[in-house]
Amino acid sequence: MYVRVKKVGSRRYAYLAKGVREEGRVRQKTLCYLGPVAKLGFGIPNDIRRKVEQRFQVNWEKVESGIRQIPLTLEEVSQLRRENFTPTARIRSGPRRSRVKGELSALTELAAIGFRERFERIGDREYRMR
């Protein structure tokens, strides 16, 4: 089993696939849909894992390493950052108060450090998960 990426319009989607021999040729057989490539940057969600495990026996380490090898475009990386870092900067516990001077720049720097730890640049506009 391996991860197959298909492009539909401007978006890319990941599928779990395997090679099947038919009439002397090897063909790809899609087993299940994993989700948009941009959302798989932090791993496969547990609900998808449960659905797949009901149908197939999967080596998740191999699948996750396959996903990490997929280069991400700049748009996909920025979507990941928007979904995972922005809400944490917005949520504040306790009473509403104004931000401390430099708080937004500190949050931005923390997000950039987390991003650099998770991804490496492999091209002008492409990144790969470490």
**Euclidean distance between CA atoms 66 and 90, whole angstroms:** 33
**Euclidean distance between CA atoms 119 and 41, whole angstroms:** 9
Summarize the confidence of residues 112-118 as an average pLDDT.
Answer: 79
Locate 85 and state its tokens. Answer: 């870092």
CA atoms within 13 A on the CB side of 73: 10
Q: Please write the tens of the pLDDT for every residue from 47-100.
A: 888 888 888 888 888 888 888 888 888 888 888 777 765 444 445 555 566 666
pLDDT value, residue 20: 92
Summarize the confidence of residues 15-28 as an average pLDDT.
Answer: 91
Give residues with Cβ within 8 angstroms of 86, minimum separation 6.
Answer: none
pTM, to two decimals: 0.60
Identify which has the larger pLDDT, 18 or 74: 18
Is 31's pLDDT higher than 80?
A: yes
C-alpha distances in Å from residue 39, one per residue of 60, 80, 117: 17, 7, 18
pLDDT value, residue 64: 86
pLDDT value, residue 45: 82
Q: Tokens 């700049």 appear where?
A: 74
> Contact, 81 vs 115, CB < 8 A?
yes
